[in-house]
Amino acid sequence: MGLPRVGILADDRLQQHLLSTAVAHFGFEVVISADPQRMALLERQMPELDVWLVDINRDDDEDLPGWLDNMLDGDIPVLVGFEKAPHKGAEDYARWQKRLLQKLRELVPEQVTVAEYAAETITTLERSSQPNRHVIPLPKNFAELRLDGQVASQVWVLGASLGGPGAVKAFLDALPAGLPIAFVYAQHIDPRFENTLRSTIGRHSAYQMRNFEEGSRLLYGQVMVAPVTAEFVFDSRGCMHSLGTAWPGSYGPSIDQVMLNVHRYFGPHAGYILFSGMGNDGTDATITITATGVPVWVQTPSTCANSSMPESALETNKVTFHGDPFQLANQLVNRLKNTWVPL
C-alpha cells in the first residue's frame, strides 16, 4: 500500500514536465509521463495505475481519440484537461499545485495518508527517542526573567508534515528553558494521535506541550499543538476560539491558515518555521506574511525526510533563513537575544 500511482499524458512538453513535477512533489508515484502519441505502445503493456492525468490540445468539435474513449470507459479514474500551469516562479504556482492535488483527491483517495505516515513516525520516535545532550545555553539577558505562566507576546508557528515530528522534536529539545517565547505547532497528523504527538515531542523538551483549550491564551514556555479537526482563531484579547469547522485544504491543520490566523493577532511579534513535509502547505501564507517583513524560516531540504514543503517556500524567495533543526534553534535563540524587548 502507498500513495496513488499516476499516469500522465500531455502533448505539451512543458505542461507534461510541470504536471509530473507537481504530482511527484506531493509524494505520488509517477509511473508514466509521456506524449499521447506513445499511447499505442503503452496499451500493449499497461502498468497498474490509480489515476490518469490527461492534457491534450484539441478543438471542442474534434472527436476524442480512440484510446481516450477507451480510457474514459475503463475502471481507472481520469482527470482530463487540467488548467495550464503557471511558471514555477509565479505567485499563483502554489495555488495551481493545490487545485491539482484537490482534483486528484476527488478521483482517488490516498491509500495511506500523510497523516498516517506522520503517525508511524510518532510511533518510531516513541520507541527510540533519547534526550538531547546538546542544549543551547540560555543568553545571560534572560537569566533573571521569570515569565513562565504569563501571557506570551512573542509567538512562533512550527509547521510540519511528513517527516516533521522528528525534526520538530530535535528543534525543541535544543532550546534552553527560559526563552521569552511560546509556540503553535501545526502538524499534519491523524487526530487519533494528537495526544501521542504531544507526549512524544515534549518528552525531553524544556517547553510544556499542551492541547488547544477553548478561550485560553498562549503562555510563555508553552507549545500549543494546533487541533487537527477544527480551525481556531484569536479574538481581540488573544483568547483562542474554535470555529467548529474543518480547516481549509487537504490536510488538517492547514499550516497556511494557522500562519495567517496567528499573523492577524500577533503581527510583527510572530515568526514561522516550516519543517520537513510533503506538498506546499505554508507557501501561500509565506507570500502574504513576508510582505510585512516578518521572518519565515525553513528546514534545509537536504536534512528533511521529505523536502517538498520547505522547497516550495524557498521557491517564493521570501525565506530569510534555513538550517537543520539545531541550526534553526540556535538562530532563534540568537534572534531573541538581540531583538526581544519587554512589552
Q: Where are the beta strands (DSSP E) in 189-338?
A: 208-211, 222-225, 232-234, 240-242, 270-274, 296-299, 321-323
Is 204 tagged catalytic? Answer: no
Burial of 235 (0-12, 13-18, 19+ CB in 10 A): exposed
Catalytic residue among 188, 190, 250, 254: 188
Which listed residue (20, 161, 250, 254) is catalytic?
Answer: 161
Q: Which of 250, 281, 307, 322 is catalytic?
A: 281
Task: Determine the 3-state secondary structure of 234 from DSSP.
Answer: strand
DSSP state of 9: E
Residues 6+ apart with CB under 8 A from 321: 295, 297, 298, 328, 331
Q: Which residue, among 340, 331, 330, has the nearest Cα to 137 in the 3D structure? A: 330
Instruction: List the one residue out of 287, 279, 285, 282 whose CA is nearest residue 316.
Output: 287
Residue 188 appears among annotated catalytic residues: yes
Known active-site residue 75: no
Q: What is the CA radius of gyration of the chain?
A: 22
- Residues with active-site annotation: 161, 188, 281
